[in-house]
Amino acid sequence: MPAAVDCAAQKAQCPGSPDGEYWVAPNGQNPFFAYCDMALGVALCTETQGVHQGRTREGSNLDYVMTSVLDHAAGVCEMWGLRATGNNRPLDRINAVAGQTMTTCKALGFINDDSLGSCLFGAATTTCGYDVSSGYYRYGNLCQGCSLNNGPFATYVLQGPMNTASVLSSMDGSKRNRSKAR
């Protein structure tokens, strides 16, 4: 089968296609691999570094944006600058608390975790390059001592302000995550 124009076209051609790597050829370009989130019909990761958008699957349906690049040979997507679309607050890992059993990368629409990054984030540590002009807040599901959404939650919620915490990645890519793409 020739390469689809994009992930949405692949989904339209084969509605039962699972998430995974597909050949795509947008705008008549030479075909390249993209990791497609078939629930949304979007590319979460391509062989060319770019900004991609997705939606979490752990129950919050949080729209997010990130910079990512697909390493097809290794079967992984590297991602950084992982933040909520509406307010640019960084995301932390999803923890197995309050009944949550999904891994972080599965919550982001990938096959599974490969290696998760960690950037110290908070007023007592660093900004990790994120805009904190209105405070040190992050999306997570477990916080101790937060004045906003303290405690364990099954889904991503906005938590903070953070004094000492972590987020999944830095904005500049010095701290990254790797998700399995196949």
DSSP secondary structure string for all residues of 98-160: TT----HHHHTTSSEEEE---EEESTTS--TT---TT---EEEEEESS-SBS-EEEEEEEEEB
CA pair distance 166, 112, nearest whole angstrom: 20
Rounded Cα distance, 37 and 48, in Å: 17
Cβ atoms of 79 and 170 closer than 8 Å: no
pLDDT confidence band for 1 (50 / 70 / 90): low
For range 131-139, the mean pLDDT: 97
pLDDT, one tens digit per residue, over 148-159 is 999 999 999 999
**pTM (2 d.p.):** 0.94
DSSP class of residue 28 equals G
Residue boundaries of the structural domains of the chain: 7-180
